Amino acid sequence: GAVVSQHPSRVICKSGTSVKIECRSLDFQATTMFWYRQFPKQSLMLMATSNEGSKATYEQGVEKDKFLINHASLTLSTLTVTSAHPEDSSFYICSAGTSGGTSSYNEQFFGPGTRLTVL
Amino acid sequence: AQSVSQHNHHVILSEAASLELGCNYSYGGTVNLFWYVQYPGQHLQLLLKYFSGDPLVKGIKGFEAEFIKSKFSFNLRKPSVQWSDTAEYFCAVTARSGGYQKVTFGTGTKLQVIP
C-alpha cells in the first residue's frame, strides 16, 4: 500500500510556542489530506480536511487560528499548533487519500502519528 | 450529520473463537464503509472496505464484513481468531458533505485474544 510519513514522531515544547508537524505522501499524490487527533483510549477525532491548493475545512469545535493547516502540494500537508498549551498535548495523525470531484472516495493511508507534549 | 457507533468497547476471546464486532452508522445518503485495525504500537491499516456491489466483502487476514443497508450496519467477522489479531478495530464511514468527503470514525473496539 501507499506510504505516508509524519515528522517529527515526537515533539516536546514549552507552553506558548508553536509546533509544525509535516505529513507527506511518499509514493502517490494525495488530493486530500486529513488531520486527526487521538486522545488516550479514544477514537480518532477528525480535525480538518485539506485539499491541495485550497483552504482547509475544519470540523466544528476546532479552532482554525490555533491549528493552521497548509496543503501546499500534492505530497505535503502541514499542521501548525500555534501558541501551544498543555491541553494541546495529544497524538496527531494525518492521512492521505485520493478523491476527485464526484468520483468514489478511495481509502485513506495513515501516517504513524506525532506525539505532542506541551510542558 | 453522520455518526458511527461501535457497541463493543472491549472484547476478550480465546484463540479459535469466532469474532463479530458491531458497527452501525447513521446517514441518509450514499456511504463508503471501512474497517481499520491498529496493532499495538503501529499505525492504522485498512482491513477492508465497501463501496458498492456485493455486500459481503472480504479483507486481509481472513476478515470479512457484511453491509446490511436496511440495518445501517457493517459488522466485522472472523470465524477463528488468533493471538495476533489482538488490536484495536475502528469502523469508519465516508460520505459527501458540503462538497467534500467527510470521514467519521467509530470509537473503536479493543480486541484481546487469549492464547
Dihedrals phi, psi of A99, to nearest 5 degrees? -150, 140
Residue B3 has pLDDT above 90, yes or no: no
Q: How confident is the model at residue A103, as a pLDDT? A: 41
* Burial readout B9-42 (b: 16 or more C-beta within 10 A, e: otherwise): eebebeeeeebebebbbebeeebbbbbbbbeeee
Which residue is it, cell 472484547? B11
Measuring CA to CA, which residue among A105, A112, A20, A113 is closest to residue A70? A20
Among A45, A105, A113, beta carbon nearest to B101: A105
Q: Which residue of A has its CA nearest to B33?
A: A107
- Cβ separation of A110 and B49 shorter than 8 Å? no
Per-residue pLDDT tens over the stretch B36-51: 999 988 888 889 989 8
Taking the Cβ of residue B109 and every Cβ of chain A, the question of whether any pair is shorter than 8 Å is answered with: no
All residues of chain A having their beta carbon less than 8 Å from the beta carbon of residue B106 are: 43
What is the grid cell recorded at A106?
Answer: 478511495
The distance of B42 to chain A (nearest Cα, Å) reads 7
- Smallest Cβ distance to B46: which of A32, A45, A107? A107
Name which of B3-17, B18-32, B91-105 the model is least confident about: B91-105
Give alpha helix (H) positions in B16-89.
none
CA distance A93 to chain B (A): 9
Contact B43 A111 (CB under 8 A): yes
How many CA atoms within 13 Å lie on the side-chain side of A40?
4
Burial of B77 (0-12, 13-18, 19+ CB in 10 A): middle
Within 10 A of A47 (CB to CB), how many other CB atoms are there?
A: 23
Q: Which of B34, B36, B49, B100 to mutate to test the interface with A (most CBs of A within 10 A)?
A: B100
Q: Tell me the pLDDT tens digit for each residue of B71-89.
A: 999 999 999 999 999 999 9
pLDDT at residue A24 in the model: 94
pLDDT of B98 reads 56
pLDDT, tens digit only, all 119 positions of chain A: 678 999 999 999 999 999 999 999 998 888 888 999 988 767 788 899 888 878 898 988 999 999 999 988 889 999 999 999 999 999 999 998 865 444 445 567 889 899 999 99
- How many whole angstroms separate alpha carbon A104 and alpha carbon B68? 20
